[in-house]
Amino acid sequence: MSETLFSKIISREIPADIVYEDEHLLGFRDVNPQAPVHVLFIPKKAMATLNDAEDGDAELLGRLLLAAGTFAKAEGFAEAGYRTVINCNADGGQSVYHLHVHLLAGRSLSWPPG
């Protein structure tokens, strides 16, 4: 997979406000937040979209959601609520082609999304 903004954040070539890191994942604040809390969780193993995930990635996909939920509990907004989103390809509104989970919180979020 070619380099993306997010692979450059993983390699620290470009800065980010990193809030979570483990062996498999990185979490950092979105530069253009859509809610008071807007964090992106990404796998260190690059895959462009959710379409590229395979059976062998099941654990990694689970880790992304677990990290988001753990962060929500640690930051104290889990009970109030939050939203996780994965945008896929053009119709899904994806702009960076390195799989990521958006975690949005800190305000009441409307549904359906635009």
Q: Which of 36, 62, 81, 93 binds ligand AMP (CB under 6 A)?
A: 93
CB neighbour list of residue 17: distance below 8 Å, 6 or more residues apart = 28, 29
Query: 2, 23, 51, 95: which one contacts ligand AMP (CB under 6 A)?
Result: 95
Q: Which stretch binds ligand AMP (CB under 6 A): 44-52, 70-78, 94-102, 106-114?
A: 94-102
Q: Contacting ligand AMP (CB under 6 A), which of 4, 19, 20, 30?
A: 30
Q: How far apart are CA 97 and CA 82, in angstroms?
A: 24
Is 98 one of the annotated active-site residues of the chain? no
**Residue 49 in contact with ligand AMP, rule: CB under 6 A:** no
Q: Which of 49, 77, 94, 106 binds ligand AMP (CB under 6 A)?
A: 94
**C-beta contacts of 61-70 below 8 A and 24+ residues apart:** 63/24, 63/25, 64/25, 64/101, 65/101, 67/20, 67/22, 67/25, 67/27, 67/41, 68/27, 68/39, 68/41, 68/101, 68/103
Q: Which of the residues are catalytic?
A: 100
Chain positions contacting ligand AMP, by CB under 6 A: 5, 14, 16, 28, 30-32, 40, 87, 93-96
